[in-house]
Chains A and B, each alone.
Chain A
């Protein structure tokens, strides 16, 4: 089939403002990934087209972008999920809410700054078990936070959130997901501190339960639900 990629391009080194550019590709297989099409444009037609990518199978989080208006990983979207027929146009833009560095590449620093601010690390200063072995955790306690361990920090959720678009000081869903992963880990000791951070003005209360984040997550994390659990824990003053 024939596919036209309509790509939002911008290189501040030489462009006054962003513009749309069309690239037509022949012999596209319906099972091709959008990332492969981007590569074909870059390799065969225009080497200046810039985007991030690495693993090419949805586990590293490099290639989050807006594909037909939805935040997706380009390597995880097959052409046949976007339409059928002999000819198809796919629209691709950078993630919203973060400064564009070049073409589909956005500045991730503010995103990682929010991430770092929620103490996204394990805290437990008790001495480890005397037998020198692992701390014990029941399968049920482990299951409690399983969903949020899956996050790959691709920013698809945060940059799909209208509250984040409106106010970029909002920590955003990804940071809350990361905090959730530790708050509900029975081995961790810093839940209280994290809940305090998340209870501040730019924390969970900016979430309006719009569900865009859950729709956007390529790892199928129930983001809105995780945020809800954090809200509840703050309201109750406990993680039980």
Chain B
């Protein structure tokens, strides 16, 4: 078994991992380990934009951005984190431009910005242009730019290496175990510090915008090694996924003027969010779509509604709203080229002349590995850091996004907190020594992988996975009830048992054994599904993306706390509800105090 030594190990080559790598590698010996070639990370799928109050087209301020973030998060966001995000967003976006990112430009040559859901000026007054974008390929440009800069700076990569375990020795974090996917060999990476940037876990649900690779590996690995998962009950359903396929249609479509329409031809968001309508927060819009569908107003009574961005419709509503702006077919072609391509390819629908059939799709995990503002993983309600362990990006929970993330804030999060984590990690490594590896650090995981490779039961991974995805879609999605969630918990536990005792895989080889890795990833998904359902069942209120029929109101008296879920000794989930939300802005300013959320 090969052992490598790097001061800093970064697991994941998406936006967060690469940003951290650029910073860490400036001063300490750093390696990035990624199960995908970095340019294939799902950051590349991000479409609409990255939020920053540049004010290039109209007045904007970081404090308005912070306010929108806190309100969008239904007051569960840590306010110090929201402010950090909003303030540092500006320099983060400028830094990306300096690194060569080809943003769209305004006529005077500045970075172009557009509207996005929940982003407003003057503390909720009216929609503001804050989303910096490169057509509808913003994530692609970010990922490419960061990867290019990593090449320029000769960052070391281990591509197509899958990290499967974290090595701890006493209180210290001393490295990770990874498998070289190509030949199946295990490698030990001995380090002073480890950063997880493994992205999301949308594959827990049946309909999702997430890549097949988004299986929450980092969250599951750290959870199994004693780190809690925070706020996992908050998982965002994006309102507009392509019907049945889940492929995302960016909120930028509505930012450009697109509207949601029900079977009666009504622009129904006027009813649910009279003020900013189709640009309300995602949780609000997703619930509205569900309610329309439940009331029989889905298109032809089916489980979808229309998203209409044809110039005819958009211009009619713009005129009605008294706005001067009008859009043309050509404008849509240049601003949303990929969306048009998806619809034409997969649906045979041309969005410049026809509406798109959409339904909510599992999209983004607000929760994750708890960290402080430096990306340090914190393991309890008192926010005690675990030295040497870091997390950033979607797998982490700072918590900026609280109970519901605003569009464009994830890309901002990757850059702002990826940068912070990379810097802090480098400083930490400079002041720390290597701690000796424990004896046979790979023993446990090697045994588990061998078990999977030889698994000879009767249930194939995909059968277990599909059952999990369906039950989570049915009971732990946009609307939830105690009975439903209870059923989900029981189903997941039964599936975990089958996974442990009755699994079957076909490929017994070493080389590029994707059968084996899919099975291992299923184990991660099951842990995450269980934590999500258990955390959701315990939170007896409705807040942000967590909406319960049996507890329809937000309860600030009791629930202004984060959920911490630990893995119990018996393998079950242990919850802690003692970590209060940071309210530092509300202490100085009335406006940041929790109030009813209307859009």
Interface residues, chain A, with chain B CB atoms under 8 Å away: 11-14, 31, 33, 42-44, 46-48, 50-51, 53-62, 76, 78, 101-102, 105, 108, 112, 116, 119-124, 128, 132-139, 142, 145-146, 149-150, 152-153, 182, 185, 187-188, 220
Contacts and interface: CB of A to CB of B under 8 A. Distances in A.
Nearest to B109: A136
29 contacts: A13-B510, A43-B462, A44-B462, A47-B507, A47-B515, A48-B506, A54-B213, A55-B44, A55-B211, A56-B247, A58-B341, A60-B44, A108-B37, A120-B151, A121-B151, A121-B152, A122-B145, A122-B149, A133-B110, A134-B110, A135-B98, A137-B105, A139-B105, A142-B104, A149-B102, A149-B137, A149-B144, A185-B100, A220-B341
B134 interface: yes
Contacts of A133: 94, 110
Given A54-B42, A108-B37, A42 B509 contact: no
B97 A11 contact: no
A134 B94 contact: yes
A199 B479 CA distance: 61
B97 A121 contact: no
B343 to A, nearest CB: 11
Interface in B120-157: 134, 137, 140-141, 144-145, 148-149, 151-152
Given A122-B149, A142-B105, A153-B39, A188 B100 contact: yes
B512 A50 contact: yes
Contacts of B44: 55, 59-60, 152
A59 B97 contact: no
Given A57-B342, A78-B345, A101 B182 contact: yes
Contacts of B338: 59
B454 interface: no
A76 B338 CA distance: 13
Interface in B29-78: 36-37, 39-42, 44-45
Contacts of B110: 133-134, 136
A47 B506 CA distance: 5
B460 interface: yes
A47 B36 CA distance: 20
Contacts of B513: 50
Interface string B462-482: 100000000000000000000
A95 to B, nearest CB: 14
A60 B148 contact: no
B99 interface: yes
B100 A60 contact: no
Contact of A11 (B141, B247, B509): B509
B42 A55 contact: yes
B307 to A, nearest CB: 17
Nearest to A138: B109
Interface-central residue, A59, A102, A123, A132, by most chain B CB under 10 Å: A59
A67 B537 CA distance: 47
Nearest to A62: B40
B511 A152 contact: no
B149 A121 contact: yes
Interface residues of B, number: 59
Contact of B212 (A54, A61, A76, A124): A54
Contacts of A108: 37
**What 8 A-B pairs have minimum CB-CB distances, sorted nearest first?**
A122-B100, A47-B506, A136-B109, A121-B148, A43-B462, A47-B515, A121-B152, A60-B40
B97 A135 contact: yes
B403 to A, nearest CB: 27
Interface-central residue, A43, A46, A105, A220, by most chain B CB under 10 Å: A43
B40 A54 contact: yes
B111 A134 contact: yes
A137 B247 CA distance: 32
A14 B99 CA distance: 47
B107 interface: yes
A205 to B, nearest CB: 25
Given A57-B247, A122-B145, A43 B211 contact: no
Interface in B508-555: 509-515
A134 B97 contact: yes
A12 B460 CA distance: 25
A149 B98 contact: no
A140 to B, nearest CB: 9
A101 B212 contact: no
Contacts of B341: 58, 220
A135 B95 CA distance: 10
Contacts of A42: 514-515
A220 B515 CA distance: 33
A47 B40 contact: no
Nearest to A35: B212
A46 B515 CA distance: 9
A93 to B, nearest CB: 17
A30 B521 CA distance: 30
Contacts of A43: 460-462
B557 interface: no
A120 B109 contact: no
A50 B182 CA distance: 12
A6 B337 CA distance: 34
Interface-central residue, A14, A33, A42, A188, by most chain B CB under 10 Å: A42
B587 interface: no
Contacts of B151: 116, 120-121
